[in-house]
Amino acid sequence: MVSSDSRNKSPSLLLAFLLLMPALAWNSLLQAEVRVADKHIFVMFPGVDAVWGEYLFLVSNSGTEPERFVFPVLLPKETIDFQGHDSLAPDELKLGADGGLTIDKIFQPGDQMISIGFKLPASQGQSQLTLNPNQDFASLGLFVWQNSLEVQSEGIPFEVRKNVSFSGRTYDTYTMLNGIKGQTYKATLTGIPEGRGRLWIIGAVLGVVLLCAGLGFAFSSRSKLPQGEEVI
C-alpha cells in the first residue's frame, strides 16, 4: 500500500484546503446537499520507475444531519496502488469490478478534506496519466516538486506556473480549467529516475545482435566442399 509520501502530506493538505475552500463554501450556499467540490489537486513526485502522488479534494455536507454519500474517485486510470489517508477508514474506500475506486462514507455536516495516496508505474523515464472525470469541474491542478517532473500533453491547455512556493516547498503547477464530464484527459510525465529496466532492455537487444552476428560469421566461414564432391 502507498505509504512513502506520508511524510510530505501535511503541506499538501493545507495547500489543498486553502485552494478548494472558497469554491466549496460558495457552492454549499446554493443548495443543502452532500457534494464533491469542483476543484481537484494532484500532488506528485518521482520515485524510481514510478510516480508517487496524493489526490486531494473536499466533500461538503451543507445539511444539518449526517448523510451517506457514495461516489467514484477520480484517480488516474494507470494507478497500481492506493491508500486512503486521515479521514478515510479502510472499509470506506472500495475497489469496483471495473478497477475503479468508490468512496462509501457517512459525512457529518460541514466540509471534509479527503486525501488518497496513489502510485503510477513508469518505464524508460516516463509515465502516463489518464483521467476520466464523472462530473464537470472548475479546475484540476497537477502540483509537482520543482524541477522534478515535466508534464506534457497535446490536448490539455494547461496553465503553467513555475517556482510556486508554499509551506516550505516549491512546486511547478499545471492547471486545467473547465473540465467536462466523460471527457478523457491524458498527460505524459517525464524526467522519472530509471531503475534497471533500461539496462535489461539494452542487454537483451545486445545479446540478440551478438547472437545473429555469431551465426552469420559461422555460416560465412564454414568449410566449403570441392566442386563435384558430395557429403556421405
pLDDT of amino acid 147: 87
Local confidence band at 1 (pLDDT 50, 70, 90 cut-offs)? low
Q: With a cut of 50, say whether residue 29 has pLDDT above it.
A: no
The distance from CA 136 to its chain's CA centroid, rounded to whole angstroms, is 19
Give me the mean pLDDT over the 158-185 stretch.
91
CA distance 136 to 146: 29
The pTM of this model reads 0.74
Q: Is residue 98 part of a domain?
A: yes
Residue 117 or 17, more confident: 117
**Domain match, 172 and 212 both:** no
**Domain match, 58 and 143 both:** yes
Domain that holds residue 218: 195-222
- Closest Cα to residue 2, out of 103, 120, 161, 105? 120
CATH code where residue 73 lies: 2.60.40
> At CA 45, angle to CA 39 and CA 49, rounded to 5?
130
Give yes or no for a contact between 173 and 180, defined as CB atoms under 8 angstroms apart.
no
CA distance 131 to 122: 17
Q: Is residue 231 part of a domain?
A: no
**Domain match, 187 and 199 both:** no
Give me the mean pLDDT over the 46-70 stretch.
95
Q: Is residue 168 part of a domain?
A: yes
> At CA 158, angle to CA 152 and CA 161, rounded to 5?
95
